Amino acid sequence: MNTTNSNCITCNAHQVKDDTREWEITPDGRVWPCCFFANAWDKRRNNNDNETKRLMEDKVIWNLLQTDPEWNSLNTHELDDIVNHKVFWTHIWYTGWESDNPPPICLKECSNNKAQLNIKKHNNRGGENGLETREYVR
């Protein structure tokens, strides 16, 4: 384990106090762990978008999308099955964040200093706009 990565991610979608996670659902029915992944997915046709580039740089997610393109689609799977997918509880969760290869989106958007800035922006906007947010207790 790389100690320089240990505890460097502050996930705004994980409510530590009551141990819940929030989920983003895109208009096409894709379930993502947060708005950053959802935005990267929604902008995937724009090759110049930095969020999308980080999604494509994430070998775990990108390989999953290549081998099982519908893995997180509500059009083909139940919500409980999607949010219990291994990738959400290993790669995009504490095990992945503390690994030698954390998700690029998490590292870029939710490293400790960046996460605090995003929380301030979120609070100033008055919360989430546009995407449906759901909480799920595991």
Asked if 79 and 86 touch (Cβ cutoff 8 Å), the reply is: no
- Is 99 strand, coil or helix? coil
Q: Give the confidence band of 16 by pLDDT, cuts at 50, 70, 90.
A: confident
Burial state string for 105-133 with b = 16 or more CB within 10 A and e = fewer than 16: bbbebbbeebbeebeeeeeeeeeeeebee
| Predicted confidence (pLDDT) per residue in 103-130, tens digit | 988 888 888 765 444 444 444 545 444 4
Structure tokens belonging to residue 131:
């995407």
* pTM exceeding the 0.75 threshold for the entire prediction: no
Spacing of C-alpha 36 from chain mean position: 6
